[in-house]
Amino acid sequence: MKQLPDPQQHFNESVARSNEKYAAWLRRGEVEPNEILMRENQEDAINEARNSYIQEATEIRDHNIRLIIKDSRRRMNQIKRKGANLRLRMCPPIALFFGLIAWYCFSQANIVLELAYSIGVFAFLVMLVSGAIFDRPR
């Protein structure tokens, strides 16, 4: 992450740069810069320094936010991949187990238990499919 520049140093450098530009502009017009003319430029130089610091601070803030979001998105994708692997390893065997128990209950003519285990099979299969739909890495 980028660090914000020192405000006082930025201010001093920006004002000096602005004064140099103004003096060069005066010399181009064949006017020698003096204290009175440079004092006239002082307020504009201060405003320019303030605005350039705000702009630079905003750019640094936006850059740092983008870095944080990128890192967060990368970590979320890792978590989603681990969750997908876990679901893929756990849900089918558990659904198969509940399916076998439901089939056994069906052969024993126990409708209530068969229905309960069938709901368990359905729940684990829905968990597998909904996880694949909603937890896709971006």
pLDDT at position 23: 81
| Structure-block tokens of residue 10 | 């930025």
pLDDT tens for 37-68 read 677 778 888 888 888 899 999 999 999 999 99
pLDDT at position 94: 93
State how far the Cα of 17 lies from the Cα of 36, in Å rounded to an integer. Answer: 18
- Ranges of the chain whose pLDDT falls below 50: none
State how far the Cα of 79 lies from the Cα of 23, in Å rounded to an integer. Answer: 59
pLDDT at position 6: 82
